[in-house]
Amino acid sequence: MNIVLSKIIGIIIGLLLAYVVKIACDTRNCIIYNIPNPAKIEKNVYKLNDKCYKLKSESTHCNTH
């Protein structure tokens, strides 16, 4: 009986935690941008349509609108 009760309580706590995270991201507009490592981009050569390209990273500021 205690094992079943502890599993049910664990599931309820997990669902509540997921709901809290969802609310936090909905109110803060959580968007996670994953970018590749710039050093890795610059040291590799990429081939597209039988042409080879060497890329260079550049930091820029973007408008918030």
Ordered by start, the domain boundaries in the chain are 2-54
Task: Give the pLDDT confidence of 4-43 residue by residue, as tens digits.
Answer: 888 888 899 999 888 887 776 666 666 677 778 888 888 8
Cα 19 to chain centroid distance, Å, stands at 18
**Beta bridge pairs of residue 48:** 51
Question: What three-state secondary structure class fits 54?
Answer: strand
Of residues 32 and 50, which shows the higher confidence score?
Answer: 50
Q: What is the pLDDT of residue 1?
A: 62
Contact (CB, 8 A) for 14 and 20: no
For residue 52, pLDDT over 90 is answered with: yes
What pLDDT is stored for residue 56 in this prediction? Answer: 84
Q: Do residues 32 and 13 touch, judged by C-beta distance below 8 A?
A: no
Phi and psi for 58 in degrees, rounded to 5? -145, 130
